[in-house]
Amino acid sequence: MPHDASLPAPPDLEGAGWALFLDIDGTLLEHAAHPDAVVVGEELKTLLSRLERDLDGALAFVTGRSISAVDRLFAPLRLRAAGLYGLEHRLDPGGPVEAADEPADIAALAEAVQAEFAGKEVHIERKGPILAIHTRAAPHLLARAIGLVEEALSRLPPGYRVLPGNAGVELMPLEAAKGAAIQRFMDMPAFCGRRAAFLGDDTSDENGFTAINAEGGLSIRIKPSGPTAAGYAIADVAGALEWLERQVRSRA
């Protein structure tokens, strides 16, 4: 994978026939110590609404958040979305959510991890079959968190993986993959036949970049800090929003 220093800025989405996939945290919104501490401004909601209109509906969130959490953040806006890295889907803006439940073994592990970090500035997020440990407010505990879930992996049934991130670690089923979520949307009428662009910022987005590259799309990593499969880079969240705003202006 190329290093971030070699990556050019992404081109504009010229002409018709584009689909757009967006990660949320670290891409559209700055990270916070707690996932619930982020706030979505009206300007961003308006921007996303205009992009969806300009793309004839071919826009979707692809995020590690649950779709219910996404809806709370962006209310009253409701977009197509893949939540929990593709374990949840809302294939139409007004349609139902295909949800994922929390298995008993993951529930037991979550309770053990919560006891381990009790009283510390570590946020344990239980997202159905995904367990996330956020250490942004306590970076010195990241290695301990990774060790805990890697140790637990050997005691769980087959089919799980550990995904370390920039400020935390997640345990998730193998089928939780952003690339597969993107492909599911691309097979739908609103997206089929279009060229896709995907914006993401973390290791969990690399699978999505690989899928986009295989289809000849634009893979764009926000604030890259090492090797990445993305073909393009944007320095920060502000730059990502500026790029998206430019896409709206160019179609006005």
Task: Enumerate the active-site residues.
Answer: 23
Per the DSSP assignment, residues forming a β-bridge with 134 are 123, 168
Query: Which pair of structure tokens corresponds to residue 117?
Result: 């970090």
The DSSP element (H or E) to which 169 belongs, if any, is strand 168-173
Q: Do residues 59 and 51 lie in contact, with contact meaning Cβ atoms separated by under 8 Å?
A: yes
Q: How far apart are CA 175 and CA 201, in angstroms?
A: 20
Q: Which long-range contacts (CB under 8 A, 24 or more apart) does 135-143 make?
A: 135/167, 135/168, 135/169, 136/31, 136/32, 136/33, 136/167, 136/168, 137/33, 137/34, 139/167, 141/117, 142/167, 142/168, 142/169
